[in-house]
Structure 1
Amino acid sequence: MSSHADPGKLSTAACVDPEVDLGTIPLIALNVSVRKKLGLYLNPRNTVAADWMAVAEAMDFTYLEIKNYEACKSPTKVVLEDWQARCAEATVGKLLSILAEVERKDIVEDLRPLIDEDVRKYCESLKKKAEPPVQVDEVDSCLPRTTERLGITLEDDPEGAPELFDAFICYCQSDFQFVHEMIRELEQTDYKLKLCVFDRDVLPGSCVWTITSELIERRCKRMVVVISDEYLDSDACDFQVKFALSLSPGARNKRLIPVIYKSMTKPFPSILRFLTVCDYTRPCTQAWFWVRLAKALSLP
């Protein structure tokens, strides 16, 4: 591909629509393989060409943030994740512009075919989601029937308004005892909050990912993330957090609230590092824990 190609447009070889503006494609479209290859180019400290530090500075990360990233195994990977979570302008087009700005057009040229392919797949997935499912006449005639996103929780009325919640609780099974305590403190007291606890409130039989995205995006005002060592190994929790962050870049509406209730041996997840944490492990502030959490969940 020519170095003079417009970084904001897809090549016709990669996508049927040559007018796709990469400035509208969120960074989440880039898969793991492309991010790893970016790290191979940018992670090594280089006195001749710009490395990950120059890219992070162009993304408006502070000096202290950049110094902290030095301890990461792959600073490029963490910088991309944090930029994606905190910045509404974190798009594929903006990333390509930054690489050009720091004079790393070699990376753009080498990885552009892979980036275009990821964007093509992302655009196709959006089109598939937008298309109504094809129904066979024999199946469609079987009544009564509810759609995939209706009748998914205990108190849902398939013919009425969907059940709404104050917060979706993101947790792994080993932390369920603390979730029970959260239910007692927030639902069964004067706070009268309504929590969405997957094992308690969601009906069985539907696609987990479809239900989860529906609840997080449309049914719950906020998400409480119960952080623990076990949480860091959970693919389901990882999906839920990244999906919620994509709905609220830069935590503009305080959508995510990380909670720590026991000591950890593993590092705190970098993708949530910029959010204020509600910490139950500090004895000096434990008495205020539930009050602060309830107040945060009660905000409009």
Structure 2
Amino acid sequence: MEVTDSKVDLSSIPLVALNVTVRKKLGLYLNPKHTVAADWTAVAETMGFSYLEIKNYETSRNPTKIVLDDWAARNSDASVRKLLSILEEVERKDIVEDLQPLIDEDVRKYLENQKKKAEPPVQVPEVDSCVPRTLERSGITVDDVPGGTPETFDAFICYCQSDFAFVHEMIRELEQTEYKLKLCVFDRDVLPGSCVWTITSELIERRCKRMVVVISDEYLDSDACDFQTKFALSLCPGARSKRLIPVVYKSMTKPFPSILRFLTICDYTRPCTQAWFWIRLAKALSLP
């Protein structure tokens, strides 16, 4: 496949670079059962999913989407190049040819966004009358000192506002006890006034060793929580290792997010294991 820049190595482009339009079109091609062409089941089998997993995916309205999400969550080499190779392997070059312009555009946008993140913002001294001057990514928490070492944390807490009471309990159990852990709670620790997405990505990638994801029905409807979770999963394999810890603290009416289903859950809803809940979570966060 040719992309806008022929030098681009598609094996280095993660699957998260493909936007909703491409994923929907993949579903339109692969979801229907075909008698002469490979469908999503052939793709899932080539990706390494078991027979039982594939049978469970059949109950979904969009099995292609779930397969892509789960594949990206459990495989560090889930790249655009690998996906295209799988489509070619199952003899669906027609999909590759039809989606090539859209994939090219997604890759181009992804690389541009990565370049922007790596470049410091341009600032003209003559029009900047603010003193002292602090880079946006260094002066973002209440304990950051201009020119000093950025504040770091044991864990970033991903939560929605309706679950804030449980976050308070988490602070009491993990920070104010013998564990002495340091949690990054956005509403408490982050200074107002800067771009939410920039701050969040900086904290998750560079300031926090791990991320605790408080799962609830409300979490599933939160755009901010969705961004934080997918950003953490999109990090390189080395940085992603043991990074996400899903926590369920109350019963849910909606399905558990498929993108996290292969991670070990810390479940507060089971009375028989509540006595070990905080010990397990604290030890997981205390690991190097």
Aligned to 1:92: 80
CA contact (8 A) 2:233 2:240 kept: no
Question: Following the alignment from structure 2 to structure 1, what is the Cα–Cα distance between the partners of residues 240 and 207?
Answer: 18
Aligned to 1:254: 242
- Decide which of 47, 50, 61 is 1:59's aligned counterpart: 47
SS in structure 1 of the partner of residue 112 of structure 2: helix
SS in structure 1 of the partner of residue 212 of structure 2: strand
Aligned to 2:91: 103
Aligned to 2:280: 292
Q: Does 1:230 align with 2:203?
A: no
Aligned to 2:167: 179
Question: Following the alignment from structure 1 to structure 2, what is the Cα–Cα distance between the partners of residues 201 and 98?
Answer: 44
Question: Following the alignment from structure 2 to structure 1, what is the Cα–Cα distance between the partners of residues 277 and 15?
Answer: 35
SS in structure 1 of the partner of residue 166 of structure 2: helix
Question: Following the alignment from structure 2 to structure 1, what is the Cα–Cα distance between the partners of residues 14 and 240?
Answer: 17
CA contact (8 A) 1:85 1:250 kept: no
Question: Following the alignment from structure 1 to structure 2, what is the Cα–Cα distance between the partners of residues 64 and 274?
Answer: 15
- Decide which of 33, 40, 48 is 1:45's aligned counterpart: 33
CA contact (8 A) 1:186 1:192 kept: yes
Identity of counterpart residues, as a percentage?
A: 82
Shift, 1:33, TM fit: 0.5
Aligned to 1:4: none
State the aligned residue count.
288
Question: Following the alignment from structure 1 to structure 2, what is the Cα–Cα distance between the partners of residues 94 and 144?
Answer: 48
Q: 1:196 to 1:139 in 2, by over 3 A?
A: same
Question: Following the alignment from structure 2 to structure 1, what is the Cα–Cα distance between the partners of residues 106 and 166?
Answer: 39
| Alignment gaps of 5+ in structure 1 | 1-6
CA contact (8 A) 2:15 2:72 kept: yes
Aligned to 1:18: 6
Question: Following the alignment from structure 2 to structure 1, what is the Cα–Cα distance between the partners of residues 62 and 31?
Answer: 6
Question: Following the alignment from structure 1 to structure 2, what is the Cα–Cα distance between the partners of residues 102 and 255?
Answer: 33
Please, what TM-score do these two structures have when normalized by structure 1? 0.92
**Map 1:142-153 → 2, pairs under 5 A:** 142-153=130-141
Q: Does 1:82 align with 2:58?
A: no
Q: 1:224 to 1:205 in 2, by over 3 A?
A: same
- Decide which of 203, 209, 221 is 1:221's aligned counterpart: 209
> RMSD of the TM alignment (CA)?
1.5
CA contact (8 A) 1:248 1:255 kept: no
Aligned to 1:202: 190
Aligned to 1:274: 262
Q: 1:238 to 1:52 in 2, by over 3 A?
A: same
Question: Following the alignment from structure 2 to structure 1, what is the Cα–Cα distance between the partners of residues 165 and 253?
Answer: 20
> What amino acid is aligned across from residue 185 of structure 2 in structure 1?
V
SS in structure 1 of the partner of residue 8 of structure 2: coil
